[in-house]
Structure 1
Amino acid sequence: MTVGSQGYPVTVLPDLPSLRLLADVARLGSIGAAGRAAGISQQSASERLRAMETQVGLVLVQRARRGSALTQAGKLLVEWSVDLLERADEIETALQTLRSGRSDELHVHASMTTAEYLLPRWLVRLRQQRRVAVSLRAANSEDVVTAVRQGEADLGFVEGPVDTAGLATAKVGVDDLVLVAAPDDRWARRRAGISPRELATRPLTCREHGSGTRAVVESALAAVGERLADPEVEFATNAAILAAVRAGGSPAFVSSRATQADVDLGTLVRVPVAELDLSREFRAVWVGGAHPPAGPVRDLLAIAGA
């Protein structure tokens, strides 16, 4: 804080890197993690934050051994800075494009169902609209959120209940899970819906922990007081799940989008399920405010939400 010509105190605004560092402390939960995101050491990050506190005349960060949290003043400063940081990101992106004269680059991480059944069509449309190089990695929803938080992905797509605290999100679609079995499975000829209790007592073919599909099933059973039995086997992809069930493995919950071809061919049978809400949302996640950053991220989200 400085003193103006009339003798009144004048607050000098913090610089953009300091404001971004403070926002990352709120997002990541520690000064060390915020420093790594900024490419500086924990000591340098701590010194920069203390200098900012001296500059504005307020304590902004509560420091503790197990992490750091913003004070009320720090939270307000971050909230007031959101639009400023978003605008700065847009200007920086535009300047980089002007300097490089090359195609944009977009790093996308997506949950398995989104990566297999939705993103290919979206990415074709994006390429038709602009010159952009896209890298796509398929992972489970929890890993997608981690990649976005750590800056490994510009944009992520997740499904089902997953913790997106500190990230901006937007709904881009809906989906239903269905239970499928091999034609000779004992559940394949059932007309009445399989009850939650029956589901809870039979080991199923399942996705791994952290997947959106498994989280939806576990959440639906928990809502009616039941718990998913330990899986007969776990797989990391929809293709592996379907292959295992076709080969005579126990039934599995998968996206309705993934089963249509097998059901039409008769290689799998949809099994009715009673009393469970197995619907879910597909959501996009990114770092920043409610408005996605200008450039290919915003363009891809516009396509996904169309």
Structure 2
Amino acid sequence: MNLHALRLFYQAASLGSVTLAAEALHLSQPAVTAQVKKLEREIGLRLLIPQGRGVMLTEAGRHLAAEARRLFELEGHIEETLEQLKAGGAGKLHLAATYLPANFLLPKWIARYKRAYPGVGVELSTANSSQTTDLLLHYRAEIAFIGGIRLDHPHLLRTPWYEDEMCFIVHKRHPLAGARVSLEEMLQEPFIYREEGSFGREQLIGLCSARHLPAPPVGLQMNGLNETLRVVMEGYGAAFLSLLETREHIAAGDISRVEVDGVHMTNPVSIYTRKEESSPPAQRFIDMILAKS
């Protein structure tokens, strides 16, 4: 079916006049009449009957006009949706992140983004750095937020975003609570280590190696942040964690920070995208967090 002819017929049917349809479409009346006749021949049905200065719809014409209305309304909806997609106001945004940014940085920004762009569906996947990178490379995420490493990859762009300070923590009534001590003194405490490969563990061992000091004794090994914090809050040992992970508990008085002379280490969080143009929703999200961070 000729959609151009259908559009002209629908306009004439809606206005009840071929002449008015021609004026509205900035066409000549004979051109509109010719296209309607062509449509009638194509489908083998009479659609319009002249009536005075206007036209009357046949039964077939009424049915076709109703369906044409649905079609052109759908067309308008599609065009509107495409414009929203271009502007970043519709579609889906797939994010991937490691534990730290997923839990302590992104929730605030996702909430702000959803308030600004309610028509965009947002999906966040939390994984380790290797899995997060794979999600981005295999087009299952548009933006990746990776903490703990500064990864350089030939197919990815990295934008530094946040530097999270690392800190030593103990129980609120520990003798070192709130004190300033040397690293040697801090390392005398039994430490609660996170699992092998975790950023804090690797940083602590690397710090000791760089200072030519033995790593602190392993008092406990825990495979989760909450478990580590709970043990410290119950009064055992020390831990080396990020400030984002511990800030709320320090502020609440559940644990206390120990200042260690000459130690200033950070946990970098970077934004990664593929080396290609980001979708409008993804670019809007990146622009928002970089502008207001």
Pick the TM interval, shorter chain.
0.5 to 0.7
Offset of residue 141 of structure 1: 3.3
State the alpha-carbon separation in 2 of the partners of residues 269 and 220 from structure 1: 21
Determine the structure 2 residue equivalent to 1:165.
Answer: 153
Offset of residue 265 of structure 1: 2.9
The structure 1 residue matched to 2:281, chosen from 277, 293, 296, is 296
Cα shift readout 1:194-226 (whole Å, capped 9, x = no counterpart): 41x455565522333444444443444443344
Offset of residue 181 of structure 1: 0.7
The structure 1 residue matched to 2:115, chosen from 115, 124, 128, is 128
- Map 1:3-82 onto structure 2 (within 5 A): none
The structure 1 residue matched to 2:204, chosen from 204, 208, 217, is 217
SS of 1:249's equivalent in the other structure is: coil
AA aligned to 2:257 is R
AA aligned to 2:122 is V
Over aligned residues, Cα RMSD in angstroms? 3.2
State the alpha-carbon separation in 2 of the partners of residues 209 and 229 from structure 1: 15
TM-score, normalising length: structure 1: 0.57
Is the 1:140–1:212 contact (alpha carbons within 8 Å) kept by the matching residues of 2?
no
Offset of residue 162 of structure 1: 4.5
Determine the structure 1 residue equivalent to 2:167.
Answer: 178
The structure 2 residue matched to 1:138, chosen from 121, 126, 132, is 126
AA aligned to 2:91 is D
SS of 2:228's equivalent in the other structure is: helix
Cα shift readout 1:42-81 (whole Å, capped 9, x = no counterpart): xxxxxxxxxxxxxxxxxxxxxxxxxxxxxxxxxxxxxxxx
AA aligned to 2:177 is A
Cα shift readout 1:177-207 (whole Å, capped 9, x = no counterpart): 1111112435336x33241x45556552233
Determine the structure 1 residue equivalent to 2:22.
Answer: none
Offset of residue 270 of structure 1: 0.5
Determine the structure 2 residue equivalent to 1:250.
Answer: 237
TM-score, normalising length: structure 2: 0.59
AA aligned to 1:251 is A
AA aligned to 1:115 is A
Is the 1:106–1:132 contact (alpha carbons within 8 Å) kept by the matching residues of 2?
yes
Is the 1:173–1:305 contact (alpha carbons within 8 Å) kept by the matching residues of 2?
no
Structure with higher Rg: it is 2
Query: Is the alpha carbon distance of 1:107 and 1:229 closer, same or farther for their aligned partners in structure 2, counting shifts above 3 Å?
Result: farther
AA aligned to 2:136 is V
Query: Is the alpha carbon distance of 1:281 and 1:231 closer, same or farther for their aligned partners in structure 2, counting shifts above 3 Å?
Result: same
The structure 1 residue matched to 2:249, chosen from 262, 265, 270, is 262
Determine the structure 1 residue equivalent to 2:268.
Answer: 281
SS of 2:237's equivalent in the other structure is: coil
State the alpha-carbon separation in 1 of the partners of residues 274 and 217 from structure 2: 35
SS of 1:165's equivalent in the other structure is: coil
Residue ranges of structure 1 left out of the alignment (5+ in a row):
1-94
**Runs of 4+ more than 6 Å apart:** 99-102
Q: How many residues align?
A: 207
Query: Is the alpha carbon distance of 1:154 and 1:199 closer, same or farther for their aligned partners in structure 2, counting shifts above 3 Å?
Result: farther
Query: Is the alpha carbon distance of 1:214 and 1:105 closer, same or farther for their aligned partners in structure 2, counting shifts above 3 Å?
Result: farther
Query: Is the alpha carbon distance of 1:176 and 1:298 closer, same or farther for their aligned partners in structure 2, counting shifts above 3 Å?
Result: same
